[in-house]
Amino acid sequence: MTPDQYCKDKVARSGTSFYYSFLFLPPEKNHAIMALYAFCREVDDVVDECREPALAQIKLQWWREEIDKAFNGIPQHPVTRALEKYIKAFNLQQEYFLEIIDGMEMDLFQTRYPSFNELNLYCYRAASAVGLLAAEIFGYQHRDTLKYAHNLGLALQLTNILRDVTEDASRGRIYIPQDELAQFGVDEKDILLGKMSDNMRKLFEHQANRAESYYNQAWDKLTDEDRYPQLSGIIMGEIYHAILGKMQKNNFEVINKRTGLSPVKKLWIAWTTVLREKRRHKELKNISQ
């Protein structure tokens, strides 16, 4: 099995919604983004599957060293062997890979966040750093596109936090800021025990509104010229925004039932987004001629 095939299989097995956004990329970019997300899955699996924090730390340190080897041309793991080919081709920065690992490490020792300021750092490491690497792979002309990638990463992660609130609580983690739990009169025990209430719905609505604001900030920073190169990121955003909308429509019944979209729905969103952005790109080219 080639390193690229290993990465593709890893991403496909994860069931990530991102997979549908990669289908429309040219081969080299497709292989590069698959390698990036396979890396994210590998380090995330360390935290989710390793019950001993000290052992997980050792494994994450191994990945830091493996990333360093990839940037020095001597990787060992199939994922880093795949990544090595794309580091120079897409100007990928080592610091972002290390930030992602740091974000995973936060999950080993931090299970609560006093306020959104602290959660913001986690979201940057777990999602925005990934988005910034992805933006380099997709390509862009304007520096504001990096701000788009940063904000979209926050929006996606906040959507994840709301969608996965029960799953995370089962692992002892509550990402919703503690001061906001208090603000809306919600005891964290109710989240841990799965007890829904009107106050909890208002708390979740507040989280959804914050995510919505980051989606809007992301779209505002994406210039017309960079929309088509960033098509895969737009598809990611549309799929996750649809998940957020479904949670809103279901009155935030996320405690006892995980909100998701069917593969057919995800593919439909991806395809309609491609058609829309192709029309938009064609109109832009006609205007510039």
Domain identity same for 215 and 94: no
Pair 142, 17 in one domain: no
pLDDT tens per residue across span 221-264:
999 999 999 999 999 999 999 999 999 999 998 888 889 899 89
* Same domain, yes or no: 116 and 232: yes
Same domain, 54 and 161: no
Pair 96, 129 in one domain: no
Range(s) of the domain holding residue 9: 1-109
Q: Give me the pLDDT at residue 282, please.
A: 86
Backbone angles phi, psi at 218, to 5 degrees: -65, -50
Task: Tell me, yes or no, whether 191 and 246 share the same domain.
Answer: yes
Take residue 199 and report the two structure tokens written for it: 């106050």
Contacts of 220 (CB under 8 A, 6+ apart): none
The helix (H) or strand (E) run that includes residue 25 is none
Domain boundary (59, 88, 109) is at 109
Predicted confidence at residue 123, as pLDDT, reads 97
User: Which CATH number covers residue 134?
Assistant: 1.10.600.10
**207 and 104 belong to one structural domain:** no
98 and 136 in one domain? no
| pLDDT per position as a tens digit, 2-48 | 998 999 888 888 767 677 788 788 999 999 999 999 999 999 999 88
Same domain, 245 and 270: yes
Indicate if 95 and 143 belong to the same structural domain: no
| The pLDDT of residue 289 is above 70 | no
* Same domain, residue pair 88 and 224: no
